[in-house]
Structure formats: structure tokens, C-alpha cells
Amino acid sequence: MLIRSVRFGEIEVPEDSQIHFPHGLPGFPKEREFAYLPSAPDNPFAFLQSLAEPNLTFIVVDPFAFFQDYKFTLDDQLVSELGLTDANPPHIISIVSVPANSEEMTANLLAPVIINTQSRIAIQMVLEKTPYTTRHRLFPNGFDKQPGKGGK
């Protein structure tokens, strides 16, 4: 599928990179079709590009690359709705906010995106009764801090 993106220009998005959000995203309920675009091999960052809105791109990250102790439980209804199993575990990403000073970028650990990579269906889940927030610093000590060392 050929799509337009303000960030990437015209790009071809293979079917296996397309993700459907049946409920949209919080704040974007009508945006249901996205492309998951990894930035580079072995890089924890990627992009979620709307297939319909060229100006809507989210930077996302593998939260476990920065927060090894990050954990939460998926409720049975979500597991069932996404069709997750032990043989088909979820791929989890977090949406990143990048302020003017990019060393202060944060990850939303309160609302992880849960993806079934086989069916390419995803839901952004808001966690309840958790210490996580929408703004966990990825590089609390600046860019000299390597991914995998964590921080808040």
C-alpha cells in the first residue's frame, strides 16, 4: 500500500507492517489504521504512521530496552480480544514524547500499546492502580546514558 506521510514522504507499506486499532487511540478515536515502521535493526525506536492522516506519526519505543523492571498484567478480556496466547505473545511498545530538548524525551508507561503481531491488531491499554505515568524519562542523565540502564 502506498501512503503519504509528512515525515517520510510517499512510502510503500507492506501488509505485514499495517496494524489495526479497533478502538482507535485515546485522543484519536477515528484513527484506526497505522503502519509500524522500525527505525533501524537493533534500535528500540520505531514509528507508528497513520495510514489515513499524513501528519500523524508517533515515535514509539520498546519500553523494556529502557525499563527492565517495567511490568503489568494484561486482563483476560484484552488477551481474548487480541487473541494472544503463550505461543503468540504480545509485542509491547510505548508512545514517546519529544520536547524541544530531546534529551528530556519521555515514554508513556501508563498506556502501553499491546500488539498481536500475527493478526496485526492492537489496543492502547490504560493501566489502573499503577505507579507508572505518561512521562518516564528515557535518558535521565542525558544521552550519555545507554539504553537498558533505565530511569524515571
Strands (E), the chain: 2-5, 9-12, 18-20, 33-38, 45-50, 57-61, 91-97, 106-107, 113-116, 121-124, 136-137
Rounded distance between C-alpha atoms, residue 19 and residue 32, angstroms: 8
pTM here is 0.91
pLDDT above 70: residue 11: yes
Per-residue pLDDT, 14: 95
pLDDT at 148: 53
- Name the CATH superfamily, with its identifier, for domain 2-137: BH3618-like (2.30.290.10)
**What are the residue boundaries of the structural domains of the chain, listed by start?**
2-137
